[in-house]
Structure 1
Amino acid sequence: MRDQNEVWQNNLYLQEEMLLDRAVEILGESDALEAYKYLLTEKEKIKCQSSQLYNYLYCLSAVAGKKEDALAWLKEAIEEKGFWYRPEVFDDSDLESLRSEAIFQKCRKLSEERFLRESAKAKTICTWKSVKSRKLALVLHGNQQNIGMCRAHWDGMSDQGYQVEYVQSGIVDSYNLYRWDEEAPIRLDKVIEEIQWDKYDSRVLCGFSAGCNEILKSIKCAKIKCEGIVLVSPWIPVIETGMDELLEFMKDNSIWIEVICGKKDDDCMTLAERFAEAAKEKGVQVSTRWIDGLGHQYPNCFLSCAGIGSGKV
């Protein structure tokens, strides 16, 4: 049974995720001002407001022409909350109207100092401690995410008999958020070397967005063997080169594939379809779910789909 504190924390992550996703939808449907007004109205419902929420607040208010609001949110995030962001965040064109302001420059300097300090000590983390089941699901987050955000979506696989464990990248993005780097050395294979991978009857690698790319990169380059992979909203530029080699290995080792992606996910849908079609042509067992109206996000209750984690969606 899952710890109640973890369930409570998972719900907090989901609440904020849904709030931010809705703000993005409003931005697309209307404009930055309406999206900003929505966040102002709804944000108090989030008990633990993250650095990501503040990023939305100061960016949207800046684009909406509310310069003083934007500077106030930025000041609160950096000076009062102690948050920080990767340096590229401050080059965002959304913040152009703030660049000449002293408070912007001060916040940028403080943030970069914290970023460099945290980058120097960050390391890849895996939650695995021991074998607790015959089935293992190893989950990788997407960019600008963390283990906690993953738990909110994947912990439910434990109800299907899986021991669910998580890998968190050692590359920092912003306060309590991490990312995968396409050019960085493979990390997943090092994690697998340190756990009792071969003691499980079923091993499933699961990922969201850039976490999917890390999975495919590791299978391709490190020849990681598993029973299956589950890719949600997969951002997978790794398939641009050497996809035949990757799929040949997956076919030879009977690795099944599940791909779940929103039809409105402009960043990922094209490559996801291409990968799934190539896998079918190669003779790899692959199942797909293309979801109407969904952008780059998790579908609602996606684990309740029949066969999730079994290659039979």
Structure 2
Amino acid sequence: MTETKLLDNTLGRIDETGTGKAYEYLKAHLNKDEDWSSQVYNFLYCLAATSDLPDEALTWLEEAIIEKGLWYRAEVFEDEDLDHIRNEERFQLCEKTSKKRYEDALKEASTEFTLKERLEDNLLVVLHGNQQNNDISRAFWGDISIEDYQVEYLQSKELDSYNLYRWNDDGNGPKQLSSAMKKTEDLGFDSKVLAGFSAGCNTILRAIVEEKIVPDKLLLFSPWIPVIEGSMTQIIEYLKESSVEVMIVCGELDEDCLPLCKLFEEKANELGYECTIRYIQGLGHEYPEDLSTYTGAYL
């Protein structure tokens, strides 16, 4: 089971069975032989804290920051899940240590675009979701072979936590994407496709209207797209006028993203914009297992 799938399952159990059982589920299914990401530790200490296990929560926090050398952006420590341990000296030491590392990381933060040269006729650029990175994207896309397509990856410079990044809803992601796409202009690709997961989709749609980028196709998986709440008509009309094709794939169990997809679909129909939308039964906030089937057939 991938880390993304495990954490998604854990979130589902919080609503179904409460934080205590969700915490036990997560611990039972973690691979003890792997290095855990900062996001996994975040789940562990938050779930422990809200399960009335303050010492375990502090121990997980110390393991992440003091022992493993991880760090988080400041907002993580403001989470109300941590209220019961916030006044502990151990917590405050971890917060102070993390803050210094985060501030140091900010000074070095930069966008990472993997494209070096043209190897195929067509280009597909993948944008990760929040609390992800290019390596996580590559784990899903790396084994997918699409004839005549070169798959590259774009990693945000907006920091989330150690080795994990995000596309803030009001951040400069559109400018990062626009800058990356300008680097492709002289390479002679026949077609350019943008693929996003979760918040990466929001950055793509924002870049469409804010930076006027014009890809040939969009692939939006589990799209977190709050931008449509204020700019939906503008986005869809621009996509229609620019002849940009769109495929949206969303799980029927994706409680946050499904309503936004439904809104997009309704407005697209109203404006006469044809797009491909697939709702997958039993899928939460994650890529479909048969990602290559959806991608290959569409392209």
Q: Normalising by structure 1, report the TM-score.
A: 0.89
Q: Percent identity?
A: 43
Tell me which residue corresponds to 1:109.
Answer: 96
CA deviations 1:251-303 (Å, max 9, x no partner) are 22221110011222222112212112322333333111112232222222222
Q: Which residue of 2 aligns with 1:4?
A: none
Can you list the C-alpha shifts for 1:111-137, whole angstroms capped at 9, x where unaligned? 111111111210111000011101111
Matching of residues 191-206 of structure 1 within 5 Å: 191-196=180-185, 199-206=188-195
Q: Could you report, residue by residue, the CA deviation over 1:33-75 in whole angstroms, capped at 9, with x for unpaired residues?
A: 2122222222235512111111111111111111111111111
Distance 1:78 1:23, change over 3 A: same
Aligned pairs for 1:44-55 (under 5 A) are 44-45=31-32, 47-55=34-42
What is the letter of the counterpart of residue 196 of structure 1?
E
Counterparts of 2:203 and 2:48, CA distance in 1: 34
Task: Name which of structure 1's ranges 219-228 and 121-130 shifts more when overlaid on structure 2.
Answer: 219-228
- Is residue 249 of structure 1 aligned with residue 238 of structure 2? yes
Partner of 2:227: 238
In 2: Cα distance, 1:236 partner to 1:16 partner: 23
Tell me the residue number matched to 2:5.
18
Query: Which aligned pairs between 1:140-289 and structure 2 lie closer than 5 A?
Result: 140-185=127-172, 186-196=175-185, 199-289=188-278
Cα offset, 1:197, TM superposition:
6.2
Deviates more, 1:162-171 or 1:29-38: 29-38
Q: 1:92/1:135 Cα in 2 relative to 1: closer, same or farther (>3 Å)?
A: same
Deviation at 1:221, TM superposition (A): 1.8
Structure 1 unpaired stretches of 5+: 1-13
Q: CA deviation at 1:110?
A: 0.5
Gaps of 5+ in 2: none
Distance 2:239 2:186 in 1: 17
- How far the C-alpha of 1:209 sits from its partner, in A, is 0.9
Contact 2:4 2:286 in 1 (8 A): no
- The aligned residue for residue 105 of structure 2 is 118
Shift of 1:309: 4.0
Q: Verify the 8 A CA contact 1:131 1:196 in the aligned structure 2.
A: no
Q: For residues 43-82 of structure 1, what are the structure 2 equivalents within 5 Å? A: 43-45=30-32, 47-82=34-69
Instruction: Name the Cα RMSD after superposition.
Output: 1.8
User: Which amino acid is the alignment partner of residue 26 of structure 1?
Assistant: R
The answer to which of 27-36 and 81-90 deviates more is 27-36
Task: Tell me the secondary structure at the aligned position of residue 133 of structure 1.
Answer: coil
Following the alignment from structure 1 to structure 2, what is the Cα–Cα distance between the partners of residues 195 and 73?
44
> Given the alignment of the two structures, is residue 27 of structure 1 paired with residue 14 of structure 2, yes or no?
yes
| TM-score relative to the length of structure 2 | 0.93
Q: Deviations over 1:135-165 (max 9, x none)?
A: 1111111111100111122224434432000
Secondary structure of residue in 2 paired with 1:280:
helix
